[in-house]
Structure 1
Amino acid sequence: MKYENAQHLLPDDVIKVIQQYIDGGYIYIPRKAGRRTSWGERTGAKAEITRRNREIYERYCRGESIRQLSQRHYLTEQSIRRIIRQQKPKP
């Protein structure tokens, strides 16, 4: 998300109405309900983390230790344990 100058986007009368509520501050305008995306979808970060977590679980199943996985992925051992727990198939 980047900041835009309202004077470049909105008509003066709209800016004056907004200034009655917040004068000179920052305001977040949410996306329309049908156009929302969840975190990481636009940048691909969500898919990359999902791929990384699958890889961690697969390496763990092949015998790599939690400590080794922690060092390889620069995560705490607690984070590695959480990822493994989340990746395990549900019975």
Structure 2
Amino acid sequence: MNYKNGKEVLPPSLLKELQKYIEGELVYIPKKTSHRAAWGELSGSRLMIQSRNEDIYRCYMTGLSFAELERKFHLSVESIRKIVLKMRAAAVVQVECEGAVGRK
């Protein structure tokens, strides 16, 4: 986050109006919501977790138990269970969508 001097970036009338409310303090002005990146998009965390979750689901589908997945991925059984259920639901939706495309 960069610091900007209000004198340099704001029109004088707006600067004068802001000074009625706050003077000599730092003010954070958030980005518009349409310009905000979702969690993990900029750092790559979102993609990394998605890839890990796909690996967990693939391993589950090949027969690994929740306890084995817990040890392999260093997550709790409950976390593994949630990931598997979410990935299974996403796979079902994808299959249903692909079936609908084939019927056209």
Does TM, scored on the shorter chain, surpass 0.5? yes
**Displacement of 1:57:** 0.3
Paired position in structure 2 for 1:17? 18
Query: 1:60 is matched with which residue?
Result: 60
Unpaired stretches in structure 2, ≥5 consecutive residues: 97-104
RMSD: 2.9
TM-score, normalised with respect to structure 1: 0.70
The structure with the largest helix share of the pair is: 2
By relative contact order (CA 8 Å, sep 6+), the higher-ranking structure is 1
How many residue pairs match? The answer is: 85
1:58 Cα deviation after fit: 0.3
Spell out, residue by residue over 1:56-81, the C-alpha distance to the aligned partner (whole angstroms, 9 max, x if none): 00001111111111122221100100
Instruction: State the percentage of identical aligned residues.
Output: 22
Quote the Cα distance in structure 2 between the aligned partners of 1:71 and 1:23. Answer: 54
After TM superposition, what 4+ stretches of structure 1 lie above 4 angstroms from structure 2? Answer: 21-26
Counterpart Cα distance in 2 of 1:51 and 1:73? 12
Q: Which residue of the partner structure matches residue 85 of structure 1?
A: 85
Aligned counterparts of 1:18 and 1:80: Cα–Cα separation in 2: 53
Provide the TM-score with structure 2 as the length reference. Answer: 0.63
Decide whether aligned partners of structure 1 residues 18 and 84 sit closer, same or farther in structure 2, where only a CA change above 3 A counts.
farther
With over 3 angstroms needed to count, the CA separation of the structure-2 counterparts of 1:68 and 1:51, relative to structure 1, is same
- Give the gaps of 5 or more residues in structure 1: none
